[in-house]
Amino acid sequence: MPGQPTPEARQDYDALLNALMPFAEQMLKQHGEFFPFGAAVSTAGEVTAHATYDGNELPPSEEVIASLTKVFQGEAREGKIRAAGICYDGRIVQGDKKVDAVMITMEHQSGHASKACVPYTKGWFGKYSFGQMIAGLEEPKIFPAGT
């Protein structure tokens, strides 16, 4: 697993973050929560939104994430995408307490995988406050090694 993303991966991650984070913020402000969703960067550099639906109105987040991962794995195998990201509502530990966070896992065909977390709090009158992004390495799940 590479330590630092390539310049192309960094550019694709920026595009994914610019697509995923605003939508997560919008869903939180409008609904107070959101189901996992994703976005991918095609081999031509276009960013497209992705969601899955299995007929269940309230699927567990883990199942939605697994379904999105499977869709992206297929698109990666077919050579349709060069990067993918999955966004979900989660919790992280900051200091000595658990806090809500928008979680975004991103992967690139170069083999690099990353996770970004943006802590948030809900204040008065449904106003949300978002903290600084925290990023780290992640295990690749979408792109097979060496593609």
Higher-pLDDT residue of 95 and 18 is: 18
The SS3 assignment for 142 reads coil
pTM: 0.92
If you count DSSP H runs as helices and E runs as strands, how many of each does the chain have, helices first? 2, 7
Measuring CA to CA, which residue among 89, 84, 107, 131 is closest to residue 5? Answer: 107
> What is residue 145's predicted lDDT score, i.e. its pLDDT?
65
d(CA 127, CA 129): 7
Going by pLDDT thresholds of 50, 70 and 90, the confidence category of residue 2 is: low
Average pLDDT across the chain, whole number: 91
Q: Where are the domains of the chain?
A: 7-137
Render pLDDT for 116-132 as a digit per residue (tens, 0 to 9). 999 999 888 778 999 99
Render pLDDT for 78-112 as a digit per residue (tens, 0 to 9). 999 999 999 999 999 988 999 999 999 999 999 99
The SS3 assignment for 107 reads strand
Count of C-beta atoms within a 10 Å radius of residue 104: 25
Phi-psi region at 52: left, alpha or beta (left = phi > 0; alpha = psi -120 to 50): beta
Least confident of 18-32, 45-59, 87-101: 45-59
Measuring CA to CA, which residue among 3, 144, 1 is closest to residue 81? Answer: 144
